[in-house]
Structures are given as C-alpha cells and as structure tokens.
Structure 1
C-alpha cells in the first residue's frame, strides 16, 4: 500500500514562491537550454519619409517632407486624384 503525505501548502514550482516544506516531491532537473528556432529580431528600417528624423541635423541639404493637405477654404470632401506614379514622384 502506498503512503499518502499531506502537506500544509501545495507544491508551487515558482522561484518566487519561497522555500517549501514539501518533502514528498521529487526534484526534477531543469531542462537543458536549447538554441531558439528563429534568430532574434532586429528593428525595422524606417520609411524614407520619416528616416530623416533619425539622422543627425548635419544633413540639411535635403528638402523636407511634402505634406498634402486639403485647401483651406474647402470644408467638404477632399479627394486626391493621383496615380501611384504621380504620387511617388520626387520633385
């Protein structure tokens, strides 16, 4: 017949749980560390329109970002009727 031991606290496997008086538990060896399946990620490169904000101010020869805004006197709908080629054109 197997003996059953009852402990005052349940067994908790957290390192923050403190020392337990649990005597019936077997100590399992920690799992060996494995290399991750994926390489660690690196930060994404910024879009060209905002890349200038990350560079030092010494490169001031470039033009600023052109903002497309609706006319000031128009309070209704503003539709930008440009093709992809026209929209991406560098002036």
Structure 2
C-alpha cells in the first residue's frame, strides 16, 4: 500500500505552526521569568525606599528637637543679655 504523501505547502505550514507555537512558549516563559525578577527587584526597592524615608524622618525629627532646645535656651538667655547691655 502506498503511503499518502502530503503536499509540500501543508508540510511547510505545519512546520511553521510548530515553530510559532515553540516561539510563543519560549517568549512566554522568558517574559514570565523577567516579570518575576522585576517584581522581586521592585519589592527590594520598596523596602529600601521605606528604610531611607524612616532614616530621613529620624534625622529631621532629631534636627527639629535640637533646634527647639536651642531656641528654648536662647529665649531663656535673651532677657539676661538685655539687662546686662544697659
């Protein structure tokens, strides 16, 4: 019995369809890995940003406290200086 031979254009179309399916799967897998990697990087940067914000807030808070203490001390000294100057 003779085997049925497919026309050449059908063989080419099937090969192209298989190649397209392979490339789609490969692209999906790579894109998925890239998305996962970017999500991990994004989470790490969010944590770092929060740490820097807290550090900056501590610095600003300490600076405000120091300036408030210095202002209170200068207000306490101010009347004495006026009396001494006269």
Structure with a larger share of its residues in helix: 2
* Structure having the higher Rg: 2
User: Which is bigger in relative contact order (C-alpha 8 A, separation at least 6)?
Assistant: 1
